[in-house]
Structure 1
Amino acid sequence: MKISSYILAVLLLSSCGTNKKNIDTAIGLTDKQLLDTVQYHTFQYFWDGAEKNSGAGRERIHLDQPDYETDIVATGSTGFGIMGIISGIDRKFVTRKEGVERLMKILVFLKKADRFHGAWPHWMYGESGKVKPFSTFDNGGDLVETSFLAQGLICVKQYFKNGNAKEKELSALADELWKGIDYDWYRNGKNVLYWHWSPNNQWKMNFPVHGFNECLIMYVIGASSPNHGINKKVYDEGWALNGAIKSPRSYDDIPLQFLHQGDAPHGGPLFWSHYSFLGLDPKGLKDAYGDYGMETKNMAVINYKWCVDNPLNYKGYGKNSWGLTSSYSITGYAGHAPQQDRDLGVIAPTAAISSIVYTPKGSMAAMRHWYEDKKAQLWGKYGFYDAFSDNANWYTPRYLGIDQGPQVVMIENYRSGLLWKLFMSDENVQAGLKKLGFQSPYLK
């Protein structure tokens, strides 16, 4: 089995009981070794840190509260973790056999878990697969989280479809699961997709999803579904608001094309450039309304530039420490973004690291600074902590699965394009993108 000498050293030292953090500190890392280190440790959130019964991605892990919510898994986190496990197999962090066994465990759990017209809930109990309500009326299907998971299932299908008998079985199960999502039901009879449905609360959440935000993948997979698909009118009227999604804006002459939900003047939280684009490659992805490759990249560039400009004069912001997105915050959870009322002096490493496909120099600079200069405050068992504030001297050793996953996947896409190639090569995805009028270098 081929494996980088650095990762081999890490594994050998770890197996001997040596403190990995101390070893890393003693090594002057090349860029490749730094990427290996961050990707490997963050991957462990979904491997070593997975919920024990299901193997699925936990909603959160608090190193300062080791017994906190250990049984809660999140559908989106699980989807991102599935893609991370594929990356881990390909990087030889685990063997292919180990990876297949873990993925089969997760998919069997998902097949038995609660579903609502094919959609999984936002949260589930790992022991039973039963829904854990996310809020008072949100105790049913969550189509957005489900679509994040479906993105991962399609990658599993593609990665293992030509493998041995066990791998083909895994591929077929992944294909079956995502094709069972009833996107047409979640229209609620209208030309838009709704986020939630509950068997006892019905459509009471009343959240029709319009763009631009993190949800493009929901419309793309909905159009790709061969069994329960949506047509182009749902995309045009729902996501694109009959063309009103086009709403040009800019920051420091860096243009954005779309109306970002909430009318964010300089773009929304940076996860909007990540979650839908872990499998859906934005490069060259265009439709009648705009260029998604340009939008996702410029969001990251604006986010970087805002932190460098630092209009609110927060301590610690700069060229090597930046990134605003939804994350843990000083007083809870917040949707940090580059605007006066949403920049709270809190930086989330996932924002810069997951943007490495858009801003490689800025992302590497931040990663290196945090690892070499601030490791004692920011680094733990599963990589960089979710968020921190130099301004408030706030460093809490906690992780969120939905923020860890994009780091593993986008580092892999930056290095090899693996998850992009898998997802974009799927015949159903290609048919769905064509149905919606997209152009992409992947389309035949």
Structure 2
Amino acid sequence: MDTKILELEAKGCFDFFWNEANTDPKSKGFGIIRDNTAADSKNMGSIASVGFGLSAIIIGIERNWISYKDGYDRTLGTLTTFYEHAEHSEGFFYHFLQLENAKKYEAFYDCASIIDTSIFLNGAVTSAEYFGGEIKNLFEKIYKRVNWVNYYDKDKNLYYMGYNPETGGFGHWDMYAEQLMQYILGTASPTYPVPTNIYKGFSRDTVKYGELEFRHSPGGALFTHQYSHAWFNFKVVEDDDGINWFNNSVKATLAAKQYCNDNPDNFKTFAESEQAWGLTACDGPFGYKAYGAGPFHPSCDKFINDGTLAPAAAAGSIVFTPVQSIAALNYFYQNVPELWGKYGFLDSYNRDVSPNWVSDRVIGIDKGVTLLMIENYQSGLIWDLYSSNKYIKKGAEVLGWKPSGVKK
């Protein structure tokens, strides 16, 4: 199995996070990383990009792409920005921040984001464990001011998806998706913890695709089976219902690949090869969409698929399906050369529109899950750092997660 593509793509991903950040030490937005490389979003930073980027710095140091000092200084400055300048509400940061001053990016303002804040905190946790000292102290200060209770609907025993200080919470994380990290961070909070039974609040819908039975996310986009796994190694634990979420993601990924291979809607992109697979939220010829694999929840439209495939979908599942994921990345590299750019793979491509379409950008969260999962596949570095933190240990313990094969 030719794995050279992993080194090429990992370096491209790292370069995005290192180069597309505010590096002006006098700026209040120092360390904020762009959401994507589109020309019209130069000032739009993403807190999720920063979360992935903080972990990317550690990988860059370990792979000798940057010096320890450079990585330390960038991390310290970034966390200082988020503690002193980044606009927030009860400790929750906004999805997008302006690069130059860390204020919310008004063009996309809705509310502070619980999931994006959690992704940011995951990156900060790994930084705290890797560097210690002042960086760990800054993480503690940022984490302790997050008021998880604000986002908790005690009547429904669910997290809100959004919260407005004037009108209260809205929407709910009521089905399984990418939010497992929120239960670890929220229950382990030393200042504003939510009850541990919140983990029991969301539905775990079991579906079957072919011979594969698993808990499915509503739209079937693979990022929902990846993001929490980029930091926490679910392979080694199961909950007190006997669920091993790592094994669940293995089945979900295999089913998603099979869905592309079965090609129920006869897309040209899918038909080119059995190695052409990968449905996730990404750029598309008609805008950013959450492409996904069936079976579909009644609330979802299966026809959101239009033939668009994203390398990050396969790459982000490399810990679950290494053979299939590496084969997909090699296929994209060898057979879709226009998909390769300065930061490795561009976000996505589509053979079902005329002319054939290739994204003109990379997106931080897609580069992030790709880089972290490649690193975890090769070394387990990010898993090890994250799981060594006292709050992460506490969260897993109070949620009742036990070593695999041992029930509470």
Q: TM-score, normalised by structure 2?
A: 0.90
Match 1:316 to one of 245, 269, 278: 269
Tell me the CA shift for residue 216 of structure 1.
Answer: 1.3
Deviations 1:370-421 (A, max 9, x none): 222322x101111111111122211122111111111111000000011111
Deviation at residue 221 of structure 1 after TM alignment? 0.9
Aligned-partner Cα distance in 1 for 2:32–2:344: 19
Residue pair 1:319, 1:365 contacting (<8 A) in 2 also: no
- Which deviations, in whole Å up to 9, do the C-alpha atoms of 1:39-79 show, x marking residues without a partner? 001111100122344222211112xx3xx221111111110
Alignment length (residue pairs): 387
1:79 counterpart SS class: helix
* Cα shift at 1:259: 5.3
Structure 1: distance between partners of 2:205 and 2:114: 26
Deviation at 1:217, TM superposition (A): 0.8
Per the alignment, residue 298 of structure 2 pairs with: none
Counterpart of 2:299 in structure 1 is none
Indicate how the Cα distance of structure 1 residues 58 and 440 shifts in structure 2: closer, same or farther if over 3 A, else same: farther
In the alignment, is the contact (CA less than 8 A) between 2:216 and 2:252 conserved in 1? no
In the alignment, structure 2 segments of 5+ residues that lack a partner are 25-29, 295-301
One-letter amino acid of the counterpart of residue 114, structure 1? E
* Structure 2 residue 346 is matched with structure 1 residue 385: yes
Pairing 1:360-371 to 2, within 5 Å after superposition: 360-371=322-333
Deviation of the 1:432 alpha carbon? 1.1
Other-structure match for 2:389: 426
Q: Deviations over 1:258-285 (max 9, x none)?
A: 3533xx5xxx100011111111112133
Alpha carbons 1:186, 1:197 under 8 Å: kept: yes
Say if 2:189 is the partner of 1:232. no
Letter in 1 for 2:161: W
- Residues 274-423 of structure 1 mapped to structure 2, 5 A cutoff: 274-289=226-241, 290-317=243-270, 318-339=273-294, 340-375=302-337, 377-392=338-353, 393-423=356-386
Aligned equivalent of 2:32: 56
Mapping of 1:25-424 within 5 angstroms? 31-53=2-24, 54-62=30-38, 65=39, 68-111=40-83, 112-133=85-106, 135=108, 138=110, 140-161=111-132, 168-190=133-155, 191-199=157-165, 201-203=166-168, 206-237=170-201, 239=202, 245-256=203-214, 258=215, 260-261=217-218, 264=219, 268-289=220-241, 290-317=243-270, 318-339=273-294, 340-375=302-337, 377-392=338-353, 393-424=356-387
Q: What do you get for the CA RMSD once the two structures are aligned?
A: 2.0
Give the TM-score normalised by the residue count of structure 1.
0.83
Say whether the 8 Å CA contact 1:153–1:175 is kept in structure 2: no
Distance 1:135 1:69 in 2: 11
The amino acid that maps onto 2:182 is M
Which one is further off, 147-156 or 219-228? 219-228
Contact 2:240 2:402 in 1 (8 A): no
In the TM superposition, what whole-angstrom CA distance separates every residue of 1:247-267 from its partner, at most 9, and x where no partner exists?
3211110111x3533xx5xxx
Letter in 2 for 1:195: M
Which sections of structure 1, spanning at least 5 residues, go unmatched?
A: 1-29, 162-167, 240-244
Q: Which residue of 2 aligns with 1:4?
A: none
Single out whichever of 409-418 and 106-115 deviates more from structure 2.
106-115
Post-superposition shift, 1:32? 4.4
Sequence identity percentage:
28
Amino acid across the alignment from 1:368: N
Offset of 1:358 from its aligned partner?
0.8
Contact 2:225 2:252 in 1 (8 A): yes
Q: Would the aligned equivalents of 1:224 and 1:431 in 2 still touch at CA under 8 Å?
A: yes
Name the SS of the counterpart of 1:61 in structure 2: coil
